[in-house]
Structure formats: structure tokens, C-alpha cells
Amino acid sequence: DTMKRLRRHGQESQRDRIKQELFQFNKTVEHGFPHQPSALGYSASLQLLAIGTRSGAIKLYGAPGVEFMGLHDENAAVTQVHFLPYQAGLVTLLDDNSLHMWTLRAHKGLSELLEIGRLSFKGLYFTLHLFFSAPPSVTRVTAVLPHSSGELLLLGTEGGHVFIVEVPGFREVEERNISLDQVASSVPDDYIGRRNLEHVEALQENPVDPDQVVIGYGRGIISNYLSYLLCIVWWTDDGSYILSSHSDGSYCQWIVGREDVNEEEEKSDIPYGEEEKPSTAQSSVAVGKKWPPFLLFSGGMPRASYGDRHCITVIHSKTHVALDFTSRIIDFFVIKDGPQNTGDPSALVVLVEEELVVIDLQTAGWPIIQTPYLVPLHSSAITCSHHISAIPLKLWERIVATGDLQNTHYSKKVHRLQMSPWPITGGQNLAPDPPQRDLLLTGHEDGTVRFWDASGVCLYPMYKLSTAAVFQTDTDPNDNMNQSTEGEWPPFRKVGCFDPYSDDPRLGIQKIHLCKYSGYLTVAGTAGQILVLELNDETAEQTVEAKVVDLLQGQEGFRWKGHTRLDVREDPVLFPPGFQPFALVQCQPPAVVTALTLHSEWKLVAFGTSHGFGLYDYQQKNNVLIKCTLNPSDQLAMEGPLSRVKSIKKSLRQSFRRIRRSRVSLRKHHVNNAAKLQDANARLEAELAEMELAPVQRKIEARSSDDSFTGLVRTLYFADTFLSDSSHNTPSLWAGTNGGCVFAYMLRVPSIEHRTEEAVTAQPAKEIQLMHRAPVVGIVVLDGHGAPLPEPLEVAHDLSRSPDMHGSHHLLVISEEQFKVFTLPKVSSKMKLKLTAMDGSRVRRVGVAWFGSSRTEDYGESGLMVLTNQGDVHVVSLPTVKMQVHYNCIRREDVSGIASCVFTKHGQGFYLISPSEFERFSLSTCNLVEPHCLIEAPLQSGTSTQHRPQPSRARSTSGNPEVTRSRPDVSINHSFTDTGTSHVTRQ
């Protein structure tokens, strides 16, 4: 007995070592566009872009592949992001009035983003006597300016004071603070009329004199002028002009240091007229070495006519364009040519709520520059995903070529540092080249399928397929994003691709299956439509006829209450190069397609809904098999997803009431509102998602056969295996339902040369009813070696060994609650692995993957990746069906994230962490796709011979600057050292 125990212990230790070499959990990279962005920053010296979000995340992007992410401990929105000059560091301001210092520190040859300091204004005592009795709101930071010395930070406050702190330590330099009294005493009486200047709206350093800073206040009052709120101030590159913009849609130009200004020159400009009260303007100016300069500002539109437009106006010489964006503008900046961002404007970078848009300002027509990252995955809402690993080069190149034909409107200008027009080039991407070409396909609510290069850190858009052209929809053929009417005023030009509105919700894509060897693609939608497409490099005009499949098979007593089917266009349709539909199956009733698979070698497509499943021969365009799985008592399956809303109205009302009550109580107590409100909203979203997924929710204990949606088809699977006897293998189709039933059909597939004369046939072979009646979420056939059967055509392309057809095959049926192995062809139970019902765990997703060893290339194992409704991921061994490892991956409350998860064939996975972002993770030690990059701090003097600008250390309380001919809401110019005198004159 002792020897047995020792031997068993030794085997377990060895197995533990092997598991460590095979399995390892990592969340690696976030793909897509940050959810709810709230702040934008840019470093010209580092060539890095920074985005802060309302959830407290901070994300940095440089050259493609250079990415960093940080998360503030506080659950508060990032309101401002500022890079520090001459350093690999940045400062963030949160809406809880805390400042945070971040640095990009090198570690083992790679950079990492670390928070190294924090400053909270709560409870701090400042030297200014006013603050000892002032309310906390007075000390709220409203403007941040990193000084060009790289050593100081200027903080403008709601009370109108400017504090100066050292960085990175955040030590206050008390003697250099600028109080409101100092500012008021330096301004002529008729300027402010002794009225409050309000908060500091903007701080800007003179580009040619680091001793001068312009302070923009929210308001000032002077006779003979109306009073409007200040929005922003901007100092031109040569330091001779200040530009201010205002809440009435006007902007004003000020000359610095001149008093001999002609009265006729004194005028402000309202670009879009004064007939209607305009909306707020936020202005920026970029003056290059060439004349005339570029003038850029956001807003300024007449509110009554264009209040719903999100615009940035660009004026250069005689060119005037109002760029009309798809969502609210967060912020924007201009990239300039030359060292330290001092040359001519080359690109405009605009962050809006739902996407990032970059515009080439050096090419005629100012075309859009295609973004290599931060692409809005949710241009139309994502409805499903499908991943394909190791794409053959030939197919890859054809997809790239068809995608290029769609992208002719993008800028072709090549950036000097890389072979693309992308102007943000910071950092070094040190990650090795991806070992293979991977595709991620996303289906969308508007009937499009988007192909993404998922091989590396950047999820890059390759090609967009639209299925809407097959059907009669309300699409306006004249609705062109880039159309503009000649002579129209304002001169609008639509930019951006975010378009959440679907012409018809029935177009939504629900299932996708692509064969990477043949290039055949099948997609299925919300209204029971299944399209089969093939890749064509040429334009083709063809009619697509619908083959109607009645899944009710004449059963009496059922009446479909859901949406109608889509009408197919009768006239020929001109399809562009790319994937073109040549066959269409229409299910009746037109319910959501819940399962789909394609066998390109047999030219067959299998599909399932909540009413049954069918088999379609897409070569002969014939229906091979129709099977109704609808339970006679299941009336709910006839409601349809779009009409099921009625049945959940009561629950929705209750949920909203709960949220309303919680919001009222939050207002009363005013304690940690943001966090509690976010939790309440998350609970509501979880409840809504649970209700949305009602067909697949179930109790743990065994259910009776009269439960709803028992006939819903959850999984379909093709296999060449043994069904009749152990000597003759045959093609087969397997289907698993929500009621724990598995149907197996034996298929007779004639050879290609006889396919025209003989039809494919199917006959029932086996039927398995699981005793616990849990939904069947996966079916896998294992060969004589215990390996999963290869994909269609995989062996023919010499990419997989032939399956062992001599030993006995096994059938693995995965339900929500257990993994059960049956022998074939007898279908007798052999072994099973139960998921514990104590914690309510249920299997949500499964996928077969290959796990290679990190120690040796000669060893690897097939395993089953499993995701549960608790958000845990497991690996189950094949063919022994034993639990190997498990990790916490997704929050259990994140029902939509769990529902969106998709596994890859090499141990990775993707799931939506927001409507616009995929989180990528890996369970494999060998297959990791994550950023490996290095950021080097810029030289202090940039590329010029100048020294780093240093502010003068002299201090004086006299000789304050003067402001000449000031306007009520414009800033005053304040010398940083309070020495010398300068003048600001409006022009």
C-alpha cells in the first residue's frame, strides 16, 4: 500500500509539472475602442496618445503594437490627461479632485505604466489665507498646465487661484502660487468692475517664453460689452497672438505686447452668424510656418438649426469645412511636422464619444487616415463572433485585396517613420511576429459581418461584408457618409463610421461559420435567414432565390406571433468583389437561427432554430433534412424574440423602480454616489441580459419535458464516424437541444462526380435523451486515439493527420451540467464528469483547443476549454474528461460578457467587456498575444540645440502685467515670475 501511495504521489507530481508547462491564465490585451472616453492627451516628444475613461482607466497608444493600460484605484472619471515635457510620464485629473502621477518605467527591457504619486485636495491646508474658510469647491482643480521645464505643474482652481507644485513629488511651491487678489490688482478697474472672474478655465504657456502664462477665467464684466463664458484660450506658435473662444460661438484674436492697435481692427468673429443663438465653441489654433494659418474650432453652430450636430470647423485659406462627427466631441489636437510638434499641421486627431477620427491635413480633400487600433467594433452593435485560426496565405491575401478595394477613400500619404499614413509613431514594438494568421469575424445588428486581423496586439479591420443587399429594406441609396452639397452652408462633411441605427433589426447576424480551406462562408440571421457565400475577386450580378424550409412540418395548433421574414429582392443584385451570396435558406417560422455549421467537403449546411433543424445541400440547392423539435406544449417558442418583450415588461418595470429608489436614496445620502449608482446600473444590465437570454436559462435540477424552449437547437456537428457498426464509417449529423436530447442522422453523400445525378440523403440513426434534461451545448467525436476529429478538408490540405478509423470512436456530449462520454457505435455510457450544482455552475461555452508545452515543442495535448455562467474558465482533458485547471475570468454579474465569449483553437479567448471592447485572454503557456514595447524618454532638448526652457527664479510683487482693451470674458496674461510687463490687445 505504501508503494502504491508513493507511486500515485509521484504520478500526480509529474502531472502537476506537465500542467504547469501547458496551462497558464493571462488577460493579455484589450481590443477596440475604450468605453465612455472622457479625456484626451498627446505627447509630441513621446509620440504617444492617451485616453482616459469615465470608469477610471487610462490607455496609452503609440506605433501599432505599442499599448499600455492603467487603472485608477478610485472609481472616478478621468477629466484631464497631460504628458510631462521631456519625460516618460503623465498626470491625470479625476472628477473626485485627485491628481495622479504616472510613469513609463523600463523593466527587463520593456516599459510598464505605473502610478507613482497621488495628490488629493481634500483636507490640504494651503498658504493662501482665503482657503482656511473657503468651501472645498473653491479648491477644485479646473485647469492643469505642465510647465515646459518639466519640473512644475500649474493648477487653476474653481476659486480662481493658481497653485504651483513640483513634479513628480507634488510638493507645493507656496511662494510661487498666484492668488486671485494678485490677478485682480493687476487688472484695470474698468475691466472686471470688481465682479468675480470665476474659475480658471484655461492655462497656456507662451511657446517662446516659458516665463509667461496666460490665465483664462470663466467670466469678467465690462461696460459696452455683453458677457459670455470663456471656453478656451490658445497661444499661437510664435507667441504673438492669443486666441480665445466663447460660449456665444465667437472667437477673438488678441495681440500680445502692442498698444498701437487701430480701433477698426478690433472685432470678434462669429463664423456661422448671429441670427440664432449658437452653441458653445471650443477653439484651437495651429499656426505652421506657412501662411495662411489653420484655424480649428469645435461647436459654434446655430443651436436652433444644428444643435444636434457635433462639429469641428477647419478653415485654411479658402477652404472651409465643418466636419460633422457621429457622436459628442470629447477633445481634439493637431499633430505638426518637424521636431517637437513645431512645423506645419499634418493631422487632426479627434476623440468623440464612440470613435477616434484622424484627418490628413496635408492631402487635398483632407481625407480620413485609417486607424490601426482603437477601431469602433460597435459601429453597429455586435451580435455574435466567430474565430478562425491559422488562415492559409492564399485566402488571407484575397480577403486583404477585397478589403483594400473598400478603403480607397482613406489617405494614402506614407508617414516618414513607417509604411502607413498613421502619424502616431511613439515607442518600439518589440513583440515577435505572430506565428500564424488569425481571423475574428463579428456579426452586427445591421446585417454586416466584419473581418478583423486578430493575429497580433492590434485588432485591425480587413474587410466588411454586408448582407442587406439581398433583401428589401428601407436603406436610402443616397445616404452616403461623405456626401456634401455644393454651396451648402454650413459646409458639412460627415466623418466617422459609428452608426448604431439598423434599417431593420431582422437583418442582425446571429451565427457565422467560415471554412478557411474552401473559402465558403455561411451566415444566419434574426429572421431565420441562412446565406451561403463564396469568395469572388470580381463584381457579379446575380439573383439569390430563397429556399423555404417549414420547420413545423405541418404540426397543428401553432401560430407564429413574432416578426415576419425578410422580403428577398426579385431583381438581380450587383455584388462587389468579396464574399457573394449564391444560396439562401429561409426558415419558417422566421425565428432566430440558434445553431449553424458548414461542411465544405460534403457541401452541406446545417441550421437550427427554437423549432427544429434542417440540412441543406448548397451544391444542388436542395433541402436534405427537416426535423421539428418543438414540444407540443411549448407555446412560448412561437412568440419570437422581438415580441417576447411583452412578457418581460413587468420585470423591467420592477427593475427600473428598484433603480429609481436607489437613485433617490443616493441623492439623500450623497455618499459615494458614483460607485453605488454604477453598481445599481450593473445590476439592471445583468437583469436585462438574463431576461434577454431567457431561452437558455434553467434550473439546476432535472426538468420535465413540458418546460419552455426544450426544442431549441443549441449545437450542430458533422462527423465521419461509426453509427451502424464498428466496421463501416459514414458521414453523420448530430444535433443537441435545450431539452437534453441528441439526434444523430446517417448521411449518404455521393462522390463529386455523381453529385449531379444522386441526391444527398439522411436517415435517423440514434437518439439520446439525457436523464437530467440539461441543454446540450457541445458535441465532439473522438477517434481511436482519443483525438477530436479534424475539420473538413484539413487532412486534404496536409494540416492534420488522418483520424484513427481502426479503434473505437467515442461521443462526448457536453450539457450545461456534465460531460458524458459514450462509446460508438453502441452509444453506451462510458464515463462522465459532473459540474457541481451547489454553486449553480452551468456550462455556457465550450471549444476544443490544442495546448503546446512551454518546455518542449514535441509535446502537446488536446483539451476542452469551458466557460461557466459563473465566469470561470476550465480546461477538461481529452479523452479522459478530467478537470485540469480552472480560473476566474469574467465577473459572474457580467452576463453579456459571458454570452459573448468565443474560444480559439490554440487556447485563447475573447469576450466583450463593453459594447466596444474585447478582452483577450489565454489559457496556454505558448500562445500569448500581448504588448511588448519600450518607451524611451525624449532628449531634454529634443532634436534642436536649445536647452530645456527654465522659468526665471526671481520673484516680485510689483510690476504686474497690464491688459489693454480687454474683453469681459477673455483671459489676462500673467507673467509666470511676476516680473516685467506685457500687453494683450484684442484684434
Smallest CA-to-CA distance from 562 within 649, 646, 647, 639 is with 639
Which amino acid, one-letter code, is at 488?
A: E
Q: Which three cell numbers stand for residue 751?
A: 462522390
∠ at Cα 897 (892, 902), nearest 5°? 115
Rounded to the nearest 10 degrees, the angle between the axes of helix 649-669 and helix 673-692 is 170
Pick the more confident residue, 930 or 636. 930
Residue 231 burial by Cβ neighbours in a 10 Å radius (0-12, 13-18, 19+): buried
Q: H or E segment at 397?
A: helix 393-406
**Largest CA-CA distance found in the chain, in angstroms, rounded:** 107
pLDDT (average), residues 409-437: 85
Spatial distance between the Cα atoms of 68 and 84, rounded to a whole number of angstroms: 17
860: Cα separation from own chain's centroid: 33
Q: Comparing 74-88, 92-106, 644-658, which segment has the lowest mean pLDDT?
A: 644-658
Alpha helices, DSSP H, located in 670-743: 673-692
The string over 432-447, giving b where at least 16 C-beta atoms fall within 10 Å of a residue's C-beta and e elsewhere, is eeeeebbbbbbbbbbb
Instruction: Look at residue 181 and tell me whether its pLDDT is greater than 50.
Output: yes
Smallest CA-to-CA distance from 595 within 480, 742, 703 is with 742
Smallest CA-to-CA distance from 531 within 589, 459, 465, 601 is with 465
Q: What is the DSSP string of 787-850?
A: PBPPPTTTTTTTSSPPP--SS--EEEEEESSEEEEEETTT--EEEEEEPPTTTT--EEEEEEEE
Are the C-beta atoms of 251 and 245 separated by less than 8 Å? yes
CA 368 → CA 345, 422, 466, distances in Å?
Answer: 15, 10, 22
> What pLDDT sits at residue 654?
45
> What pLDDT sits at residue 772?
87
Q: pLDDT tens across 695-746, in order?
A: 333 334 455 555 678 999 999 999 999 998 888 899 999 999 999 999 999 9
Residue 419 burial by Cβ neighbours in a 10 Å radius (0-12, 13-18, 19+): exposed
3-state secondary structure of 612: strand
Instruction: Look at residue 973 and tell me whether its pLDDT is greater than 70.
Output: no
Instruction: Look at residue 485 and tell me whether its pLDDT is greater than 70.
Output: no
Instruction: Look at residue 967 and tell me whether its pLDDT is greater than 70.
Output: no
Q: Which three cell numbers stand for residue 31?
A: 481590443
> What pLDDT sits at residue 479?
47
> What pLDDT sits at residue 976?
45
Spatial distance between the Cα atoms of 362 and 12, rounded to a whole number of angstroms: 66
Q: pLDDT tens across 813-864, in order?
A: 999 999 999 999 999 989 989 886 556 789 999 999 999 999 988 899 999 9
Q: pLDDT tens across 107-142, in order?
A: 999 999 999 999 887 544 443 333 334 566 678 999
Name the pTM for this structure. 0.86
Which amino acid, one-letter code, is at 275?
A: E
pLDDT (average), residues 330-340: 83
Q: pLDDT tens across 391-403, in order?
A: 999 999 999 999 9
Are the C-beta atoms of 288 and 344 separated by less than 8 Å? yes
Listed in order, strand segments (DSSP E) in 73-166 are 78-83, 89-94, 98-107, 110-120, 141-146, 152-157, 162-166
At residue 529 the predicted structure's pLDDT band, cuts being 50, 70 and 90, is very high
Spatial distance between the Cα atoms of 802 and 781, rounded to a whole number of angstroms: 14
